[in-house]
Amino acid sequence: MLEAATLIKECSGYLKPEDVSQLQNAFDFSESAHEGQFRDSGEPYISHPLAVAGILAEWHLDSQALTAALLHDVMEDTSITKNQILETFGKPVAELVDGVSKLDKIEFETHEEAQAENFRKMLLAMARDVRVILIKLADRLHNMRTLDAVPAHKRRRIARETMEIYAPIANRLGLNSIYQELEDLSFKYLYPDRYRVLSKAVSTARGNRREVVSKVLAAIEKRFHDSSIAAQVRGRQKHLYSIYRKMREKHLSFAQVLDVYGFRIVVKDVQACYVALGVLHGLYKPIPGKFKDYIAIPKANGYQSLHTHLFGPFGSPIEMQIRTQEMHKIAEAGVASHWLYKSSDQSITDLQKKTHQWLQSLLEMQSESGDSVEFLEHLKVDLFPDEVYVFTPKGKIMAMPRGATAVDFAYAVHTDIGNRCVAVKINQELMPLRSELKNGNRVEIITASHAKPNPLWLNFVATAKARSHIRHFLKTMHFEESVQLGERLLNQALSTFKSNLNSVPEVQWTKLLREANAKSRADVLSDIGLGKRHAVVVARQLLAIRDPAPGEQTNAGSMGTVVIHGSEGMAVQFSKCCHPIPGDRIIGLISKGQGMAIHTHDCPVLAKSHHDPERVLDVEWDNESRKLHDVNIRAVVANERGVLAQVAASIADAESNIQNVAVEPQDGGKYATMQFTLQVINRLHLARIMRELRRIPEVTRITRVRN
């Protein structure tokens, strides 16, 4: 257990005397607050905040962060309030403690919802001050180091949460040593048997390979000395979970994972990195396709190094990492290097900038996410980026997660470009928007002012930012369209009482909003459009007309007929059970929370189900509408060569698009059935297409398919 005196002594080496004094006060304050409290291990509770502060002191974090680390549990576990911390230690410390504290006072329906809200708050606090997450990660690291004392049923849950959220965040912020330790500890408690077996195998292998390692080490050092390159060469063992992950992903046995051990070479500058690389390639042959230049193209978390795999002296591959001293500091400490090494080093500045951009994108996502669980889902997507590097048309390098598509790239450039994209050129060739990006692709997005996101994009986008913006746009569009439909339905209902929206007094709207507990008129109209409120009931409330008693006759007529233009968007849906097209007799059915569905008058699905009469509306087509509608037709044709081409040409001549086609040979093979989904303007257009098809001698029967 770390002693307070040890912590104070360590901090005295880099903090001012007044800061060290504040730290001592914070320890005394925390010790007093936690008096009588013990951890599951039986140690006094103060040992935990002391250990967390000790981890942060290794990074040379400032006194505010260390003070907050000592106090990080007092608000949650004792009667101390935020105001008391504010008065004693100042606002920055109080904000840090509040950012780290959990939300135990809020009641949630599920554990997942509570955890999601915790992460949401933590990441918002982190966006204001990145030290919040550094304290939180140190807190989690000490908890994982002492997880043996926790009841067994809790261990697995805490380990999974660490593996899914905390370790990836540490990786995203470039905190390499913490990231690896959190992964190994999570692995230990999630899969104890696998951890034990693998740990023993690695230990044995290390002994067996000691001769290889020492031989390689001596050869490298001699070659560098002969080439007059000043370098520190260190042997490096891969951490257990990375070995396990490689075995699982590539279906390898431990014996097949040969690069368990690697070497790290630290040189004085960037030029020396490339010279050292040339020397190593002259010493041992490089393995083709296993070289990565993270100096020219750094990882998203600021990591820089040259990686190469070589054939070792006994034919076993050896991994080499070559970097400068500054790169090594950033690789180990990540964003904490901002406090650890005060300098004007450009790479550290870039790292701060990248971290800030990532945190800002989290803020955007959380403001657009409807709930905490959705936000956490976005966050998890964003935390596992196995990067692909692509170029913009101007040559700027952009890092995208593996599996990212052209739509992800468009949203990464700018939200408006994502919302307006219609096509993409990859390496100057037109490609589908769902195309996955590969390393080195040059990507150019083509936009159009009238374009908008397609809901189908959600099936293939890989980044949290793209998913979040698409969902936000669709929600907004759905709301706006349901408001427009609600306005039409309410106006229609008011007309039955010889009134309209323009003649409703303001005082009646105010009264309705108060009684309905609605924020605005738009909310009421949206509820009508989505079927959550009856247009006739709202009309009566606005005109102060009492509801009729059961059996009482009213003077108001029916709501009249609603005109459908065919371009209403998401608020009006054309039912898949009967595929109505202009010219069909139709009726509208308002479903609660889903808007209006249009069915044909003789729809068999509608006939079998029972509906509230007030939700069934008379609707008619707008004769001016030129929008295309999907319709299904079935043709029985002679099973001869070239028939499909004849039918397709005839459909094209009739100015229709084929959305889908399927051909099924009938028994005996003499005839075949063709199923088409066509786009038509109305019934007359469909009749013209079917007339053209009947003129083909090979077509024996043609019918429209209703469902």
| CA–CA dist 496, 491 (Å, integer) | 9
The reply to whether 638 falls in a domain is yes
Considering the domain architecture, whether residues 203 and 177 belong to the same structural domain is answered as no
The string of DSSP letters for 36-70 reads T-B-TTSSBTTHHHHHHHHHHHHTT--HHHHHHHH
Of 621, 642, 672, the residue at which a domain comes to its end is 621
The reply to whether 610 falls in a domain is yes
What are the φ/ψ torsions at residue 395 (nearest 5 degrees)? 90, 5
**Which residues fall within 8 angstroms of residue 367, CB to CB, at 6 or more apart?**
none
Considering the domain architecture, whether residues 552 and 639 belong to the same structural domain is answered as no
Considering the domain architecture, whether residues 132 and 252 belong to the same structural domain is answered as no
Give the Cα-Cα-Cα angle 317, 318, 321 (nearest 5 degrees). Answer: 145
Using the 8-state DSSP alphabet, how is residue 463 labeled? Answer: S
Of 566, 598, 621, the residue at which a domain comes to its end is 621
- Confidence band of 465 (pLDDT split at 50, 70, 90): confident
Considering the domain architecture, whether residues 650 and 578 belong to the same structural domain is answered as no
Q: Answer whether 353's CB lies under 8 Å from 345's CB.
A: no
Please give the structure tokens belonging to residue 171.
């990786």
Q: Widest CA span of the chain, in angstroms?
A: 106
Please give the structure tokens belonging to residue 210.
């000691």
Considering the domain architecture, whether residues 186 and 201 belong to the same structural domain is answered as no
Closest CA to 334 of 354, 314, 359, 306: 354
The H or E element that residue 655 is part of is none
What pLDDT was estimated at residue 157? 87
Residues with active-site annotation? 76-77
Considering the domain architecture, whether residues 652 and 586 belong to the same structural domain is answered as no
| CA–CA dist 402, 127 (Å, integer) | 25
Q: How far is CA 699 from CA 278, 638, 649, 674, 692, in A?
A: 71, 7, 14, 10, 10
| CA–CA dist 146, 185 (Å, integer) | 10
Query: How many structural domains does the chain have?
Result: 5
Domain extent at residue 278: 196-342
Considering the domain architecture, whether residues 39 and 172 belong to the same structural domain is answered as yes
| CA–CA dist 321, 431 (Å, integer) | 37
Average the pLDDT over 464-490 and give the result: 82
Tally of residues, the chain: 707
Considering the domain architecture, whether residues 450 and 484 belong to the same structural domain is answered as no
pLDDT greater than 90 at residue 401 = no
pLDDT in tens, 422-459: 999 998 899 989 899 988 788 999 998 888 888 888 88
Look up residue 278 and give its amino acid.
G
pLDDT greater than 70 at residue 371 = no
The reply to whether 393 falls in a domain is yes
pLDDT in tens, 292-327: 888 888 877 778 899 998 887 766 778 899 999 888
The reply to whether 367 falls in a domain is no
Q: How far is CA 602 from CA 53, 564, 574, 608, in A?
A: 73, 18, 14, 11
Query: CB-hemisphere CA count at 13 Å for 543?
Result: 23
The reply to whether 48 falls in a domain is yes
Look up residue 690 and give its amino acid.
M
Please give the structure tokens belonging to residue 366.
């959380």
Of 124, 156, 190, the residue at which a domain comes to its end is 190
Considering the domain architecture, whether residues 330 and 243 belong to the same structural domain is answered as yes
Share of the chain above pLDDT 90, in %: 13
Please give the structure tokens belonging to residue 379.
């966050």
Average the pLDDT over 232-239 and give the result: 80
Q: Order across the sheet with 421-426: list the strands.
A: 429-431, 421-426, 443-447
* CA 210 remoteness from chain centre: 44
Considering the domain architecture, whether residues 211 and 182 belong to the same structural domain is answered as no
